[in-house]
Amino acid sequence: MSQIIEVIEHITVDGDRWDNLAWQYYGDANAYEQIIAANPEVMIIPILPGGIKLLIPVIEEDETESTTELPPWKQ
């Protein structure tokens, strides 16, 4: 399970999208739900206008989770 340990402030520019922000910060475009959940006051629209302050949760993976994805000889 992942834990939120801190947040990064991101100010949007015209054309930012939730999935692009997730890709930029997490390397996974499908992780946008974590960003949306951290910003309940922001309207969920496909393309964000510039100038909105978003909180981007910093995710830290648990050690047990990351080692289970490794082959046995690398654990």
pLDDT for 48 equals 97
pTM metric for this prediction: 0.73
Per-residue pLDDT of the chain (75 residues; tens, 9 = 90+): 556 579 999 999 999 999 999 999 999 999 999 999 999 999 999 999 999 999 999 987 654 455 567 777 766
Write down the pLDDT at residue 15: 96
**What is the distance between the alpha carbons of residues 72 and 42, in angstroms, rounded to a whole number?**
43
In total, the chain counts a number of residues equal to 75
Is-contact 64 7, C-beta < 8 A? no
Task: Say if residues 24 and 56 touch (Cβ distance below 8 Å).
Answer: no
